Structure 1
Amino acid sequence: MSRTAAVSHVGKVRSNNQDSAYAGRYLFVVADGMGGHAGGDVASAIAVKRIAETDQAYTSPHDAEYALKSALLSANSLLAETVFEHSELTGMGTTVSGMLRVGDKVAIAHIGDSRVYRFRDGDLEQVTTDHTFVQRLVDSGRITPDEAAVHPRRSVLMRVLGDVDASPEIDTSVLDTRPGDRWLLCSDGLSSFVGEEKIAAILRTVPSAREAADRLVKESLDQGAPDNVTIVVVDVDDSGDDSFEPPTTVGSAALPLSFGGEIERRAMRLPSLLLHPLKATPPDDSHFEPESDDYLQALIQEDRKRARRRRVTWLVFLVVAIAAIVFSALAGYQFTQRHFFVGESDGRVAIYQGVQQDIGPIQLSHIYEQTTIELDTLPPYLRSQVESTMNASDLLDAKRIVEELADARTEP
């Protein structure tokens, strides 16, 4: 028998909750949506709603493992179909960490950087592997786990469910469980801000699953977590009590699906010149003048003078405006040339100098360096990022991105 709790909090910065979670009788799952206002909440909700259909008894843990993996792949297809029908959601995706209990075994399916932990005999063990770029660097010995925690590319995911890969690789496993075990499923809103020692201390000292989940959320918020925080705690006991709590859904999956309008896309603009239109000269107070040739000639001369003044004023205005526009254009172009980004050129990774947007026929970027990294050798998610371009803070950062992409290449 297990006692469970599922909690989700929007965090201290985000305006909406892109996480979703489900805690049922046999199934427990956490999903962390990505894509911001482009649909991270939609992605996690669709995935959790689909995977929740697997919450049933299975004859063997391997049957449960297969069912869970199939559910994740089915959710991936649903996300791709949703993006096809709602182009404004292009780029959305979600991580998923799910667990199905079958007797004294649990089947786990995982993709992304949400995590599954097993707390047993006072020790906390992460049983899933993050599908992040920095984790690959850690695994290859290039950086330490401590360095990974502060790495500037630590949020780069290498595998997610979404419209990127029709057949994403899902990690699955079957592990044993026993009375006294406490399982923790969480989004990176917890694991990125609360150390494992603190997590273990809370799981060790707080007996109630619900209270433990609440304490973990509070600890994450106390650390200033800007991201959504979602936690599922599962306690395994041998009380013999066959009663179970109704399934709990939290986060975006607990709300009706909502598809927004087309995402507003704003191109980077050069500094603009604020132009104030000339104000019309207010008419003189009405008065009567007797019609005469002298007065008529005076009106004609005054009109000519006003016309000359208008022409001179407009000429000065145009000269000043043109000079300001030219100056702004030059300053803006010089500003753009201080930027770098990594993109694609002829099927290979290239470093570009400038910005991604063009102004009509004027190109604001050019290839600074063409690399030998073939785009086809990169994992699908990184390949998609390169095709969409990856911003760099400076040339050194761009070269660092290229080095990281080179390390991420797969065998053809």
Structure 2
Amino acid sequence: MAANRAAAVSHTGKIRSNNQDSGYAGRELFVVADGMGGHAGGDVASAIAVNRIREADAEYETASEAEFALQSALIAANSLLAETVFEHPELTGMGTTVSALMRVGDEVAIAHIGDSRIYLFRDGELSQVSVDHTFVQRLVDSGRITEEEAMVHPRRSVLMRVLGDVDASPEIDTLILATRPGDRWLICSDGLSGVVKNDDLLAALASKDAPKQVADRLVKQSLDAGAPDNVTVVILDIGDVSRGDIVKDPVTVGSASAPLQFGEPKPTTRAARLPTLRLHPVRPATGPTHFEPESDDYLDELIEEDERRVRRRRLTWMIGLAVLVVAIVLAVLFGYQWTQSRYFVGASPAGKVAIYQGVQQNLGPIVLSHVYEETDVPVKSLPQYDKQLVQQTINADDLAAARAIVDQLTDAAK
């Protein structure tokens, strides 16, 4: 089996004051975790999760064994997070996403929860392997909104599943996929996928650069786009000797790369409780991403809110369209009324000198003038110069001025 070639890079970004992401590129295991819970908990959550999950970095006989080991590691990390919150109430509300990949021979086992993502670049095409556990993804799956609308949806950061102190047995997506030489895997937090477009991800992954260079390039693209969140990228190349050097030592980045920093457990006289019974965090996350429990009532509430938002937007568009139509109609009416206050002298269809009401120009098929008065003076009876003027039309300031012009032409025709 060809050795793995991998890299892991993490950056705080341009807005956040601390890095709540953690990443790990090991011998067989590759993980990204995006913590949440504000300054006091997000970094702790992702660090605890990655530090626990990386203990599963080992060689397995089958991909099924690796899949079970990954799932067990995520469940163990979840329990550890709940215990930590129980001992440190100030961390209440912390949680983390986890996207993990374990290589076993020509297969990979994947475990995923939250909205960090796993991508596969193969044969010039990029595909998203993981599914976001977000409210807007449910709307996309149900056909209520498009993927483009999901990118700007006001609830795009609401997570429906995470590791934390909210569920003793969180639902974790697992799967086994075949992989082959030349494949390039990307695991990243939403600080990358939520900022950098898929076309740019594809261009970076398609390059022949080593994993570390690709990871640095992707992080830079996020920073160039404003980097409103922490950015963590893990790149794994499968058996392609043309890309970079073999990574022999595991690499940990982000908050998991530093010692955990939070206070000692404080004695408490409050009644013992199971943290998993708390469905709503006492202190909501202060970052752009936060968790809400996957309950039917809450989903119904969010869906109803989204439907109200759609109805309001539709009503706004309808009112705006009605106002625009009224404005156009009024403009046309006032414009037409103005044209009918104008007069000019020209040749009638019968070849006589005539006074026209309106203007010489037409608006498409709409004729903006008509014969107001027709004289008995043939245009051909006029002197050559006057005949040319009439054929080209003569503007008049008002009806009286037009009649005066007609009188002059009548005299000239005698």
Tell me the TM-score normalised to structure 2 length.
0.64
Superposed CA offset, 1:130-158 (max 9, x none): 00000000000000000000000000000
Cα 1:403–1:121, aligned 2, differ >3 Å: closer, same or farther?
same
Deviations 1:351-390 (A, max 9, x none): xxxxx9xxxxxxxxxxxxxxxxxxxxxx97155996xxx9
Query: How far apart, CA to CA, are the structure 1 residues paired with 2:192 and 2:245?
Result: 31
- Distance of 1:71 and 1:226 partners within structure 2: 30
Are 1:124 and 2:126 matched, yes or no?
yes
1:103-182 superposed matches below 5 A = 103-182=105-184
Pairwise CA distance, 1:37: 1.5
- Give yes or no for contact 2:6–2:247 (8 Å, CA) kept in 1: no
**1:258 shift after superposition:** 0.7
C-alpha distance in 1, partners of 2:304/2:241? 58
**Residue identity (%):** 66
Matches within 5 A, 1:7-156: 7-156=9-158
Contact 1:8/1:250 (<8 A) preserved: yes
Q: Note if contact 1:179-1:236 (Cα within 8 Å) is conserved in structure 2.
A: yes
Instruction: Find the residue that maps to 2:47 and give its secondary structure.
Output: helix
Structure 2 residue ranges without an equivalent (≥5) = 266-282, 284-290, 310-414
Task: Rate the CA distance shift 1:243–1:190 in 2: closer, same or farther, 3 A.
Answer: closer
Judging changes above 3 Å, is the alpha-carbon distance between structure 1 residues 92 and 235 closer, same or farther for their aligned structure 2 residues? Answer: same
Q: Deviations over 1:162-213 (max 9, x none)?
A: 0011100000000011110000000000000001111000111242100000
State the one-letter code of the partner of 2:149.
Answer: E
Q: How does 1:221-260 map to 2 (within 5 A)?
A: 221-237=223-239, 239=241, 244-260=247-263
Supply the distance in 1 between the matched residues of 2:33 and 2:230 (Cα, whole angstroms). Answer: 11
SS in 1 for 2:199: helix
**Aligned with 1:38: secondary structure?**
coil
Contact 1:32-1:94 within 8 A present in 2 as well = yes
C-alpha separation in 2, matches of 1:233 and 1:165: 30
Tell me, yes or no, if the aligned pair for 2:10 and 2:230 is still in contact at 8 Å. yes
How far, CA to CA, are the matches of 1:205 and 1:117 in structure 2?
15
Q: CA deviation at 1:76?
A: 0.2
Deviations 1:188-242 (A, max 9, x none): 0000000111100011124210000000000001111110000000011154999
Q: Provide the secondary structure at the position in 2 that maps to 1:109.
A: strand
Give the residue type in structure 1 aligned to 2:256: A
Cα pair distance change 1:18/1:216, threshold 3 Å = same
C-alpha separation in 2, matches of 1:208 and 1:83? 40
User: 1:205 is matched with which residue?
Assistant: 207
User: Match for 1:148: what amino acid?
Assistant: A
Flag the 1:82–1:403 CA change in 2: closer, same or farther, 3 A: farther
Letter in 1 for 2:7: A
**CA, structure 1 residues 38+244, in 2 after alignment: closer, same or farther (shift >3 Å)?**
closer
Change (3 A) 1:92 1:179: same
Q: Structure 1 172/166 Cα, relative in aligned 2: closer, same or farther at 3 Å? A: same
Cα distance change, pair 260–154 in 1 and its aligned pair in 2 (3 A): farther
Partner of 1:295: none
**Paired residues, number:** 281
- Write the letter of the residue equivalent to 2:226: G
Q: Cα deviations across residues 268-287 of structure 1 (Å, max 9, x unaligned)?
A: xxxxxxxxxxxxxxxxxxxx
Aligned AA (1:109): A
Q: Is the 8 A contact 1:31 1:96 kept in 2?
A: yes
Distance 1:133 1:246 in 2: 38
- Counterparts of 1:90 and 1:143 in 2: how far apart (Å)? 33
Match in the other structure for 2:388: none
Structure 1 stretches lacking a partner, 5+ long:
263-355, 357-378, 391-396, 405-412
CA deviation after TM superposition for structure 1 residue 15, in Å: 0.3
Matched letter for residue 400 of structure 1: E
Aligned to 2:192: 190
Given that 1:38 and 1:91 are in contact with CA atoms closer than 8 Å, whether structure 2 keeps it comes out as: no
Name 2:220's counterpart in structure 1. Answer: 218
Q: Residues of 2 paired with 1:21 and 1:385: CA distance?
A: 34
- Check conservation: 2:15, 2:228, Cα contact below 8 A: yes
SS for the counterpart of 2:39 is helix
Match of 1:381 in 2: 293
Contact 1:164 1:384 survives alignment (8 Å): no
Q: Distance in 1 between matches of 2:5 and 2:156?
A: 33
Give, in angstroms, the shift of residue 38 of structure 1.
Answer: 3.1
Contact 2:88 2:263 in 1 (8 A): no
Q: Judging changes above 3 Å, is the alpha-carbon distance between structure 1 residues 202 and 398 closer, same or farther for their aligned structure 2 residues?
A: closer
Could you state the TM-score of these two structures normalised by the residue count of structure 1? Answer: 0.64
Contact 2:4–2:28 at 8 Å: present in 1 too? Answer: no
Cα distance in 1 between the residues matched to 2:246 and 2:15 = 39
Cα pair 2:31 2:98 within 8 Å, conserved: yes
Distance 1:234 1:173 in 2: 18
1:96 and 1:385 mapped to 2: Cα distance? 26
CA gap 1:31/1:51 in 2 versus in 1, 3 angstroms: same
> Do the aligned residues in 2 keep the contact of 1:38 with 1:90 (CA within 8 Å)?
no
Q: Which has the larger radius of gyration?
A: 2
Residues 151 and 9 of structure 1, relative CA distance in 2, 3 Å threshold: same
